[in-house]
Amino acid sequence: MTAHYIKAALLAALIALPTAAQAATTCSASMTNVNFGASDPFTGWTGVTATINYQCTTSGLSLLANARAKLCFGIGSGNQGSGSMIVPRRMTSGANELRFNLYQDAGHSLVWPTAVEGADKYEVALQYSVPLLGGSGSGSVTVYGDVISGQNTAIPGSYSNSFSGIGAFMVYRTNEQLLGTPSWPTNCTSGGSFSGIASFPFTASATVEASCNPSFSVQNISFGTQGILSSNIDTTAIIAPQCTNTTPYQIGLDNGQNATGNTRRMHNGAGKYVSYELYRDAARSQRWGDTLNSDTLADIGTGSAQAQSVYARTAPQITPPQGTYSDTVTVTIYY
């Protein structure tokens, strides 16, 4: 009778084991910074990636088992953001802003959500083994970022946005049992046996460098077809530099390929010349040269192309033989 009683009690204990949860699970996460580096609005910034690393640890089990968890990651607008607005997110430098965003996919079509439930949530499932003394599981997800193009009026400076607390957080639900594999939690906010929330602080940053667009527009100067050069012949052309907002710049013009001293000349290729000059003002009293802070044209960038007029003149001179006369002047933008 005694042996029979012991056998029956052991059988009852084994039947009860799989349904009794004796474990405790906690999960944590961290994220690398989103660093776009230095560039300018005309070149643009290359897309970057960051990584969310997560881990769940279960302790307290006394038999071989598995644990299952569902984890959701929400990213808000950040401490320097615009409240609930995440399309786009922004970085700031004082009162100035630079727009960017974070995405779930490499194609940058799915903005990373703030929500941790509903259709827009970003959810991962994690299963791991739990030996006699407890166990853990981990994984990672990629966050894709880009600075939005077309921000030509961005002011040079260092921009950043810090994300913390409910602005970068993970919500999770876990399920454990003493033996075997439990069912999955319903989602990140319901089902299972344990729940929690954790933050993964990070910073997004970018530097806007002072720059001028190397692809600026330069209009050729044409004096047209003329006869006897007995009077002034005036014409104009446009140089349209595009420099970052608030960036001082100067435009210099060299003396061309055929100058004698500081006199610019057009050449017919056969030893004959027509002298001409270029000016910064409509009265044609301020010669345009290439000496900084002396005879260059100075202005301040706006981020947009700025039309700067070149005032050209051929003064009366001995008329050379007929033909086509030309010269090449190099335009340099200093900033």
The CATH number that applies at residue 266 is: 2.60.40.1090
Residue 293 lies in a domain: yes
Number of structural domains (the chain) is 2
Q: Please indicate, yes or no, whether residues 202 and 313 belong to a single structural domain of this protein.
A: no
Residue 83 lies in a domain: yes
The tokens for 102 are 């974070």
Query: Which domain-ending residue is among 208, 237, 271?
Result: 208
**pLDDT for the residue numbered 9:** 31
**pLDDT for the residue numbered 61:** 58
Residue 3 lies in a domain: no
Phi, psi of 71 (to 5 degrees): -130, 135
Sheet bearing 89-93, strands edge to edge:
24-31, 48-59, 135-147, 96-103, 89-93, 157-163, 202-208, 34-39
In the three-class reduction of DSSP (H, G, I as helix; E, B as strand; rest coil), residue 6 is classed as helix
Residue 10 lies in a domain: no
Q: Please indicate, yes or no, whether residues 83 and 192 belong to a single structural domain of this protein.
A: yes
Contacts of 301 (CB under 8 A, 6+ apart): 212, 241, 242, 243, 244, 245, 246, 247, 248, 249, 335
Residue 32 lies in a domain: yes
In the three-class reduction of DSSP (H, G, I as helix; E, B as strand; rest coil), residue 52 is classed as strand
Query: Which domain-ending residue is among 178, 208, 238?
Result: 208
Q: Please indicate, yes or no, whether residues 230 and 146 belong to a single structural domain of this protein.
A: no
Amino acid, res. 149: S
How many helices (H) and strands (E) are present in the chain, helices listed first?
1, 20
Q: Please indicate, yes or no, whether residues 99 and 241 belong to a single structural domain of this protein.
A: no
Residue 17 lies in a domain: no
What is the extent of the structural domain holding 261? 217-334
Phi, psi of 272 (to 5 degrees): -115, 150
Query: Which domain-ending residue is among 155, 179, 208?
Result: 208
**pLDDT for the residue numbered 208:** 98
Q: Please indicate, yes or no, whether residues 134 and 156 belong to a single structural domain of this protein.
A: yes
Q: Please indicate, yes or no, whether residues 118 and 246 belong to a single structural domain of this protein.
A: no
Phi, psi of 217 (to 5 degrees): -90, 135
Q: Please indicate, yes or no, whether residues 139 and 261 belong to a single structural domain of this protein.
A: no
Q: Please indicate, yes or no, whether residues 189 and 228 belong to a single structural domain of this protein.
A: no
Q: Please indicate, yes or no, whether residues 68 and 122 belong to a single structural domain of this protein.
A: yes
DSSP states of 90-137: EEEETTEEEEEEEESSTTS-SBPPS-SSSTT--EEEEEEEE-TT-EEE
Q: Please indicate, yes or no, whether residues 241 and 313 belong to a single structural domain of this protein.
A: yes
Q: Which DSSP helix (H) or strand (E) runs through 205?
A: strand 202-208
CATH code of the domain covering residue 105: 2.60.40
Q: What is the pLDDT along the chain (335 residues), one digit of tens a residue?
A: 333 322 323 222 232 334 444 568 999 999 999 999 999 999 999 999 999 999 999 987 557 789 999 999 999 999 999 888 999 999 999 999 999 999 999 999 999 999 998 888 999 999 999 988 789 999 999 999 999 999 999 999 999 999 999 999 999 999 988 888 999 999 999 999 999 999 999 999 999 999 999 999 999 999 999 999 999 999 999 999 999 999 999 999 999 999 999 999 999 999 999 999 999 999 999 999 999 999 999 999 999 999 999 999 999 999 999 999 999 999 999 99
Contact 48, 102 (CB under 8 A): no
Residue 12 lies in a domain: no
Closest residue by Cα to residue 45 from 229, 220, 211: 211
Q: Please indicate, yes or no, whether residues 268 and 149 belong to a single structural domain of this protein.
A: no
Q: Please indicate, yes or no, whether residues 230 and 308 belong to a single structural domain of this protein.
A: yes
Residue 8 lies in a domain: no
